[in-house]
Structure 1
Amino acid sequence: MSDNKGKNPDRELHNYHNNFTSDEDHDAIKEQDRLLPIANVGRIMKQILPPNAKISKEAKETMQECVSEFVSFVTGEASDKCHKEKRKTVNGDDVCWAMATLGFDDYAEPLKRYLYKYRELDVERGNNQNKGNETETCNNYDAKKQQSPRKGSSSLFNNRNSGPQSRGF
């Protein structure tokens, strides 16, 4: 018979769990957590390419690695800035600052303008909602929706023309 004295129940649970999942499985889960979803990456790639272009799985995976690393790189720099300033939340201005600091000035400036326009529209939407302006027609709402960027959207990539210059930036 075995004696449970001096044994850590958490370690036992961890050992039990590890009997059913290999370190390889655990590493694969971590790997997927750090990568942007491949479907989203593929969708953005398709929006930029001509309609009849085909994209290989390998190309999508390579791009997924690159953009995920880029996002981590920029976010890490922005996070370091926040940590030094004793703040817990990274905001859009921090990301713009990080892009410029890391030498991505060609992208930082259009991103600043996009963020400024987004905030302007966000304030307008807030003011309209506060006034009780709920009688907006569906057509007016749809037109606004197409013009204004939304949280989590990539309207910079919604146009088939490449480059921020073609989008008025």
Structure 2
Amino acid sequence: MTIIPNNNNNNKEQDRFLPIANVGRIMKKVIPGNGKISKDAKETVQECVSEFISFVTGEASDKCQREKRKTINGDDIIWAIIILGFEDYILPLKQYLIKYRELEGEKLNVPKQNQPQQPDQKPTFSYNSVYSPTGLLPQTSFVPTDQSFPSPFSPNSIQSQLPKQEHVDSMGHW
């Protein structure tokens, strides 16, 4: 008797994660050109950002259900991020949302025959692919490359909280 492993559970697990290629591409943007990112690091970040998205959208969804609405909008996401304690992200997100709405408003005010001939870039939200980045962000996203976002901690603050390397045994225990 041959037992074939059930990949259905693994596929369902992967469906709740952002595509790892997209995660890796974003990670590469913030490291030196000759830097390398391990598969384990990509998978860890993939899991963390997917969980963060689920956490925030779940809170926004609960708000919409309480208000008897069926559609989550950008304001609901910003509200959820504030409620969950991620205030440091609010300023850049609000700026992005304002710019996005300005661009979408321009599209609505220009007659269709005068708009450039491009495939429709309006984001669509698919229930099958909730975490698809193309479903959440327009292709013409507004993120200036020279913009830096404030960090809520200094790069050394985390390192100073970790025990010194000399106290780590061969098993990696402190």
Q: TM-score range, shorter-chain basis?
A: 0.5 to 0.7
- How far apart, CA to CA, are the structure 2 residues paired with 1:42 and 1:36? 10
How many residue pairs get aligned? The number is 129
SS at match of 2:18: coil
TM superposition shift of 1:152? 5.4
TM superposition shift of 1:109? 2.3
- Tell me the equivalent position of 1:163: 148
Instruction: Judge conservation of contact 2:96–2:142 (CA < 8 Å) in 1.
Output: no
TM superposition shift of 1:164? 2.9
Instruction: Judge conservation of contact 1:48–1:162 (CA < 8 Å) in 2.
Output: no
SS at match of 1:151: coil
Question: Aligned-residue CA RMSD in angstroms?
Answer: 2.5
- Tell me the equivalent position of 2:109: 127
- How far apart, CA to CA, are the structure 2 residues paired with 1:21 and 1:152? 40
- How far apart, CA to CA, are the structure 2 residues paired with 1:25 and 1:108? 39
- Tell me the equivalent position of 1:52: 34
- How far apart, CA to CA, are the structure 2 residues paired with 1:91 and 1:123? 16
**Residue identity opposite 1:114 in structure 2:** Y
Give the counterpart of 1:43 among 7, 25, 28.
Answer: 25
- How far apart, CA to CA, are the structure 2 residues paired with 1:47 and 1:85? 39
Between Structure 1 and Structure 2, whose CA radius of gyration is higher? 1
- Tell me the equivalent position of 1:109: 91
TM superposition shift of 1:127? 1.7
TM superposition shift of 1:38? 0.2
- Tell me the equivalent position of 1:151: 138
**Residue identity opposite 1:102 in structure 2:** L
What are the Cα deviations for residues 85-108 of structure 1, in whole angstroms up to 9, with x where unaligned?
111111111001101111111102
TM-score (norm 2): 0.65
What are the Cα deviations for residues 36-65 of structure 1, in whole angstroms up to 9, with x where unaligned?
100000000011212111101011001001
- How far apart, CA to CA, are the structure 1 residues paired with 2:16 and 2:50? 7
**Unpaired runs of at least 5, structure 2:** 117-136, 151-174
TM-score (norm 1): 0.67
Instruction: Judge conservation of contact 2:99–2:142 (CA < 8 Å) in 1.
Output: no
- Tell me the equivalent position of 1:28: 10
Structure 2 vs 1, CA of residues 132 and 59 (structure 1 numbering), >3 Å: closer, same or farther? same
TM superposition shift of 1:123? 0.8
Structure 1 residue 62 and structure 2 residue 49: aligned?
no
Structure with greater contact order relative to length (CA < 8 Å, sep ≥ 6): 1
What are the Cα deviations for residues 106-133 of structure 1, in whole angstroms up to 9, with x where unaligned?
10222012101110121113222x1743
Identity fraction in percent: 59
